[in-house]
Chains A and B, each alone.
Chain A
Amino acid sequence: MAKKKIETQTIVWKETVTIENTPEKTQELQAAFDSSKEVLLDISELTDIDITGIQLLIAAQKEATLRKNTFKIIGHIPPSVMECFQSIGIPVDKVAGGEQFSSNILETISSGEHNA
Chain B
Amino acid sequence: MLEQINEVFFEEANELLESLEGMLLSLEEDPEDKEIISAIFRIMHTIKGSSGMFGFEAISKFTHEIEGAFDMVRNGIVPVSAQLINLTLASRDHILKMLKGDDSEQMKEQSLRIIDAFKQLTAPYRSGTAVKNETKERAKTTDEHTEKQTTWRISFTPSETILCNGTRPTLIIKELSEMGTATVLLFYQNVPPLSQYDPQLCYLSWDIILTTTHSKNDIEDAFIFIDEQSTVRIEQIDLSLIENRKIGEILIERKAISKKDLDLVLNQQKKVGEILLEKKLISKENLQSALAEQTHIKSVACAEKANADKTVEQAAGAGAQQSIRVNSEKLDQLIDLVGELVTFNARLGQLSQKMNNSMLLTLGEQSERLILSLRDTAMDMRMLPIGTIFTRFRRLVHDLASDLHKNIELVTEGAETELDKTVIEKLNDPLIHMIRNSVDHGIEMPEERIAAGKNPQGTVKLIAQHAGAFVLITISDDGAGLNKERIYNKAIERGLITPGTELSDTEIYEMIFLPGFSTSANVTAVSGRGVGMDVVKKDITTLGGTVSIETNPGKGSNFILKIPLTLAIIEGMMVQIGNAKYVIPLTNVEECLEFNPEYEKDGSVCSHIEARGQFLPYINLRTYFEITDPIPTSQQVVIVNDQDSKLGIVVDHVIGNHQTVIKPLGTLYKNIQGLSGATILGDGTVALILDIFKLSEVIRKTDSAV
Binding site for B on A (CB under 8 A): 19, 22-23, 25-26, 29-30, 33, 50-52, 54-56, 58-60, 62-63, 65-66, 84, 87-90, 106, 108-109, 111-113, 115-116
What chain B residues lie within 8 Å of A111 (beta carbons)?
A: 284
Q: List 28 A-B contacts (CB under 8 A).
A: A19-B163, A19-B199, A23-B199, A23-B200, A26-B199, A51-B163, A51-B170, A51-B204, A55-B188, A55-B199, A56-B194, A59-B193, A60-B194, A63-B193, A63-B194, A65-B193, A84-B170, A87-B170, A87-B174, A88-B173, A88-B206, A89-B184, A106-B188, A108-B285, A109-B189, A115-B189, A115-B284, A116-B190
What chain A residues lie within 8 Å of B174 (beta carbons)?
A: 87
Question: What is the CB-to-nearest-CB distance from B567 to chain A, in angstroms, rounded to a whole number?
Answer: 57
What chain A residues lie within 8 Å of B169 (beta carbons)?
A: 51, 88
Question: What is the CB-to-nearest-CB distance from A79 to chain B, in angstroms, rounded to a whole number?
Answer: 16
B81 part of interface (Cβ distance < 8 Å): no
A64 and B598 CA atoms in complex are apart in Å by 106
Residue of A nearest to B185 (CB): A89
Contact of B200 among A25, A52, A63 (CB under 8 A): A52
> Which 5 A-B residue pairs are closest in the complex by CB-CB distance?
A89-B186, A63-B194, A22-B199, A89-B184, A115-B283
Asked whether A62 and B199 contact (CB < 8 A) given A87-B170, A108-B285, the answer is: no
Residue of A nearest to B199 (CB): A22
A111 and B185 CA atoms in complex are apart in Å by 16
Residue of B nearest to A66 (CB): B193
What chain A residues lie within 8 Å of B193 (beta carbons)?
A: 59, 62-63, 65-66
A87 and B186 CA atoms in complex are apart in Å by 10
Count A-B pairs with CB separation below 8 Å: 99
CB neighbors of A among B159-187 (8 A): 163, 168-170, 173-174, 177, 184-186
**Cβ-defined contact, A88 with B195, below 8 A:** no
Question: What is the CB-to-nearest-CB distance from B118 to chain A, in angstroms, rounded to a whole number?
Answer: 55
**Cβ-defined contact, A19 with B194, below 8 A:** no
What chain A residues lie within 8 Å of B194 (beta carbons)?
A: 26, 29-30, 33, 56, 59-60, 62-63
Q: Which of B194, B204, B280, B288 has the most CB of A within 10 A?
A: B194
Instruction: Kindly supply a per-residue 1/0 record for chain B positions 518-536, scoring 1 wherever the CB is within 8 Å of any chain A CB and 0 otherwise.
Output: 0000000000000000000
**Cβ-defined contact, B206 with A55, below 8 A:** no
Instruction: Kindly supply a per-residue 1/0 record for chain B positions 200-226, scoring 1 wherever the CB is within 8 Å of any chain A CB and 0 otherwise.
Output: 101110100000000000000000000
A25 and B174 CA atoms in complex are apart in Å by 26
Question: What is the CB-to-nearest-CB distance from B261 to chain A, in angstroms, rounded to a whole number?
Answer: 15
What chain B residues lie within 8 Å of A60 (beta carbons)?
A: 194
Asked whether A59 and B185 contact (CB < 8 A) given A22-B199, A115-B283, A115-B284, the answer is: no
Residue of B nearest to A91 (CB): B186
**Cβ-defined contact, A89 with B163, below 8 A:** no
Q: Which of B193, B203, B206, B285 has the most CB of A within 10 A?
A: B193
B467 part of interface (Cβ distance < 8 Å): no
B599 part of interface (Cβ distance < 8 Å): no
B-side interface residues, number (CB < 8 Å): 31
**Cβ-defined contact, A90 with B202, below 8 A:** no
Question: What is the CB-to-nearest-CB distance from A53 to chain B, in angstroms, rounded to a whole number?
Answer: 9
Question: What is the CB-to-nearest-CB distance from B257 to chain A, in angstroms, rounded to a whole number?
Answer: 13
What chain A residues lie within 8 Å of B284 (beta carbons)?
A: 108, 111-112, 115
What chain B residues lie within 8 Å of A29 (beta carbons)?
A: 194
Interface of A is mostly: helix
Contact of A112 among B189, B200, B202 (CB under 8 A): B189
A63 and B168 CA atoms in complex are apart in Å by 25
A56 and B201 CA atoms in complex are apart in Å by 11
Binding site for A on B (CB under 8 A): 163, 168-170, 173-174, 177, 184-186, 188-195, 197, 199-200, 202-204, 206, 280, 282-285, 288
A55 and B194 CA atoms in complex are apart in Å by 9
What chain B residues lie within 8 Å of A33 (beta carbons)?
A: 194
Extra contacts besides A89-B206, A108-B284 (6): CB < 8 Å: A51-B170, A52-B199, A54-B204, A88-B170, A89-B186, A113-B189
A87 and B185 CA atoms in complex are apart in Å by 10
Question: What is the CB-to-nearest-CB distance from A27 to chain B, in angstroms, rounded to a whole number?
Answer: 9
**Cβ-defined contact, A109 with B191, below 8 A:** yes
Question: What is the CB-to-nearest-CB distance from B176 to chain A, in angstroms, rounded to a whole number?
Answer: 10
What chain B residues lie within 8 Å of A65 (beta carbons)?
A: 193
Asked whether A116 and B199 contact (CB < 8 A) given A58-B188, A66-B193, A87-B174, the answer is: no
What chain B residues lie within 8 Å of A26 (beta carbons)?
A: 194, 197, 199
A33 and B189 CA atoms in complex are apart in Å by 21
Asked whether A55 and B203 contact (CB < 8 A) given A26-B194, A108-B284, A109-B188, the answer is: yes
A113 and B284 CA atoms in complex are apart in Å by 9
Q: Which of B169, B189, B283 has the most CB of A within 10 A?
A: B189
A50 and B191 CA atoms in complex are apart in Å by 15
Residue of A nearest to B177 (CB): A87
What chain A residues lie within 8 Å of B184 (beta carbons)?
A: 87-89
A51 and B158 CA atoms in complex are apart in Å by 12
Contact of B195 among A30, A106, A115 (CB under 8 A): A30
Residue of A nearest to B208 (CB): A89
Q: Which of A26, A54, A55, A66 has the most CB of B within 10 A?
A: A55
What chain A residues lie within 8 Å of B195 (beta carbons)?
A: 30, 63
What chain B residues lie within 8 Å of A108 (beta carbons)?
A: 284-285, 288
**Cβ-defined contact, A62 with B170, below 8 A:** no
What chain B residues lie within 8 Å of A50 (beta carbons)?
A: 168, 170
**Cβ-defined contact, B283 with A112, below 8 A:** yes
A88 and B190 CA atoms in complex are apart in Å by 15
Residue of B nearest to A67 (CB): B193
What chain A residues lie within 8 Å of B204 (beta carbons)?
A: 51, 54-55, 88
Residue of A nearest to B288 (CB): A108
What chain B residues lie within 8 Å of A112 (beta carbons)?
A: 188-189, 283-285
Asked whether A51 and B202 contact (CB < 8 A) given A108-B284, A115-B280, the answer is: yes
A89 and B284 CA atoms in complex are apart in Å by 16
A108 and B195 CA atoms in complex are apart in Å by 20
Question: What is the CB-to-nearest-CB distance from B182 to chain A, in angstroms, rounded to a whole number?
Answer: 10
A112 and B190 CA atoms in complex are apart in Å by 9
**Cβ-defined contact, B192 with A62, below 8 A:** yes
A109 and B189 CA atoms in complex are apart in Å by 6
Residue of B nearest to A19 (CB): B163
What chain B residues lie within 8 Å of A22 (beta carbons)?
A: 199-200
A56 and B193 CA atoms in complex are apart in Å by 9
A51 and B194 CA atoms in complex are apart in Å by 15
A60 and B195 CA atoms in complex are apart in Å by 9
A56 and B177 CA atoms in complex are apart in Å by 24
What chain A residues lie within 8 Å of B200 (beta carbons)?
A: 19, 22-23, 52
